[in-house]
């Protein structure tokens, strides 16, 4: 009882420690979504006036957050903290319901304390905070908790609720639809052998699908009502199919995924504990044809997460792996706490060995020091011990030819806010600075918030070409045009460095005069 209480208090303390990240700037993707949502809040229509390739759920989440908590950068961090708290609670409930209270407490503290973005990633984890995967995990945990309520003779309402959460997960990323059938299969497996009528399984599956369709249909109806359904299809289906296929070669991609997983197993206590526990569960399943419900859920959830990570595409970003943390914590908690009837001595040795390995990785790894250092910096900024400009230089540097710079983004936004009115529009030819619209409180003059959506030409739609964009901008005549230098040895970086030599861009700049250079941003003002 005392140990369980201590573990839960540690989980709460870890969640509170995450909250100091409210002073951190927006990451590259987060700033893009914030700019899109700022436009939505000012009357612009998603996919029509502000265009991005993700499904609508992430924008609706940000819109709800900004509307409720305020139109500030801190809201994005608060959304991440709220999602982490919900996931922690869901793991506690699942562990308690499927095993015992100690297992639930261990799962909760493993997730809350060992998956802090400040410890796992560089720059305080601001690039991996409040991404789609953050909220997908909450949805999958809710699906699993609802599934535990479904009986063989009743509980179809819980099946409907599980399906609804599955539909919401797919609205963050379509490939997250894999989680619903994975949880359905787990529910079917854990039923007693004599209580698995096929008719019941089909009925529950149909109800789940119906529940999943409900949020999807409602979202499509909303998009249709605002005249954005056709553009949404182009973004979510056509462009994503084109984007994911870039550089995707299945054998090489499988090898890259295996290496990425192995790297995490060698360095991350959650991955080490979860993967070892999953292997133990698989061995037991092969040997005895059975495995405890909690371990089975971890296997189904974790296996589905690997599928989703794989089909995300060849770019194995850290954020893709976020969705594996929850099932890994469940698996590790199951093995660390379980008291098996058979071979109890061997199980004790195995648990002790696993706990030792996880402790060694934690103590001698970079996680504690990185988490402590970043949390301390955030606290110093929160209490005014570090000025804003100095603090922001820790996120990408400043004037060092590295591309992204949080301080430069803020300086550009401040400049535009001072030199324009709220009704005047601006446009950025860039990628990393797409949050300038949100930071400056100004609307974009063109729906494409990032350069890589239309340059270099690749997507087979004439509206996604540089000449079409410059033609639209010439008609709208934004007050400022900004050109970003990425300092990146990549296709996009090289293309952007030659952008001002494009004939259509040169023609557009005939009506503009260079005004100021703000770090990597060249700012041009319209001639009146």
Q: What is the pLDDT of residue 97?
A: 94
3-class state of residue 295 by DSSP = helix
Burial 201-214 (b: 16+ CB within 10 A, else e): beebbebbbebbee
Count each helix (H run) and each strand (E run) in the chain, helices first: 24, 4
d(CA 418, CA 399): 22
Look up tokens 């995300």; give the residue: 312
Look up tokens 């997908």; give the residue: 136
Q: What is the pLDDT of residue 91?
A: 97
Q: What is the pLDDT of residue 489?
A: 66
Q: What are the structural domains of the chain?
A: 406-526 (3.40.50)
Q: Provide the strand spans (E) within 190-341.
A: none
Residues constituting the chain: 528
Kindly state the helix (H) or strand (E) to which residue 79 belongs, with its residue range: helix 74-98
Q: What is the pLDDT of residue 351?
A: 86
pLDDT 10s per residue in the chain (528 long)?
Answer: 788 888 889 999 999 999 999 999 999 999 999 999 999 999 999 999 999 989 999 999 999 999 999 999 999 999 999 999 999 999 999 999 999 999 999 999 999 999 999 999 988 888 999 999 999 999 999 999 999 998 755 678 999 999 999 999 999 999 999 999 999 999 988 877 656 677 888 889 999 999 999 999 999 999 999 999 999 999 998 888 877 665 555 778 788 889 999 999 999 999 999 999 999 999 988 888 889 999 999 999 999 999 999 888 777 889 999 999 999 999 999 999 987 656 677 778 888 888 999 999 998 888 998 999 999 999 999 999 999 999 999 998 888 888 789 999 999 999 999 999 999 999 999 999 999 999 999 999 999 999 888 887 777 888 999 999 999 999 999 999 999 988 776 667 677 777 888 899 999 999 999 999 999 999 999 997
**CA neighbor of 325 nearest in space, from 63, 116, 69, 172:** 116
Look up tokens 């619209």; give the residue: 437
Strand bridging mode 480-484 / 426-429: parallel
d(CA 89, CA 112): 10
Side by side, which strands form the sheet with 521-526? 426-429, 480-484, 521-526, 512-518
């Amino acid at each position: 009882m005392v140990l369980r209480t201590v573990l839960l208090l540690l989980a709460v303390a870890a969640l509170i420690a995450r909250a100091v990240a409210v002073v951190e700037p927006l990451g590259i993707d987060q700033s893009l979504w914030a700019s899109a949502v700022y436009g939505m809040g000012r009357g612009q229509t998603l996919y029509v006036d502000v265009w991005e390739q993700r499904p609508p759920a992430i924008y609706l989440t940000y819109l709800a957050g900004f509307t409720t908590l305020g139109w500030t950068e801190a809201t994005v961090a608060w959304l991440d903290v709220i999602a982490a708290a919900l996931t922690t609670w869901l793991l506690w409930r699942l562990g308690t319901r499927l095993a015992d209270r100690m297992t639930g407490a261990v799962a909760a503290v493993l997730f809350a304390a060992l998956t802090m973005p400040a410890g796992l990633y560089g720059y305080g984890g601001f690039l991996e905070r409040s991404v789609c995967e953050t909220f997908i995990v909450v949805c999958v945990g809710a699906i699993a908790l609802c599934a535990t309520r479904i009986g063989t003779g009743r509980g179809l309402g819980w099946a409907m609720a599980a399906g609804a959460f599955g539909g919401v997960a797919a609205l963050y990323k379509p490939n997250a639809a894999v989680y619903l059938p994975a949880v359905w299969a787990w529910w079917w497996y854990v039923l007693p052998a004599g209580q698995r009528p096929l008719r019941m399984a089909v009925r529950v599956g149909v109800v789940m699908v119906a529940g999943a369709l409900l949020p999807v249909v409602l979202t499509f109806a909303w998009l249709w009502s605002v005249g954005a359904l056709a553009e949404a299809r182009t973004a979510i289906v056509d462009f994503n199919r084109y984007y994911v296929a870039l550089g995707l070669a299945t054998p090489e991609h499988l090898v890259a995924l295996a290496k990425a997983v192995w790297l995490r197993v060698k360095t991350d206590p959650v991955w080490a504990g979860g993967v070892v526990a999953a292997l133990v569960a698989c061995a037991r399943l092969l040997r005895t044809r059975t495995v405890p419900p909690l371990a089975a859920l971890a296997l189904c959830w974790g296996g589905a997460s690997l599928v989703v990570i794989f089909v995300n595409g060849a770019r194995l970003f850290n954020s893709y792996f976020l969705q594996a943390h929850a099932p890994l914590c469940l698996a590790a908690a199951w093995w660390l706490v379980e008291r098996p009837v058979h071979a109890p001595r061997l199980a004790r040795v195995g648990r002790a060995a696993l706990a030792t390995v996880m402790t060694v990785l934690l103590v001698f790894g970079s996680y504690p020091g990185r988490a402590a250092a970043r949390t301390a910096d955030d606290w110093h900024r929160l209490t005014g011990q570090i000025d804003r400009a100095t603090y922001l230089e820790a996120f990408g540097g400043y004037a060092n030819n590295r591309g992204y710079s949080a301080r430069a983004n803020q300086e550009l936004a401040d400049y535009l806010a001072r030199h324009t009115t709220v009704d005047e529009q601006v446009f950025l030819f860039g990628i990393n600075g797409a949050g300038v619209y949100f930071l400056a409180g100004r609307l974009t003059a063109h729906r494409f918030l990032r350069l890589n959506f239309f340059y270099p030409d690749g997507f087979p739609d004439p509206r996604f070409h540089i000449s079409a964009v410059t033609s639209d901008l010439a008609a709208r005549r934004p007050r400022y045009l900004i050109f970003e230098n990425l300092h990146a040895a990549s296709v996009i970086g090289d293309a952007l460095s030659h952008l001002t030599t494009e004939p259509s861009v040169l023609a557009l700049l005939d009506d503009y005069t260079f005004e100021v250079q703000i770090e990597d941003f060249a700012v041009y003002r319209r001639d009146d």
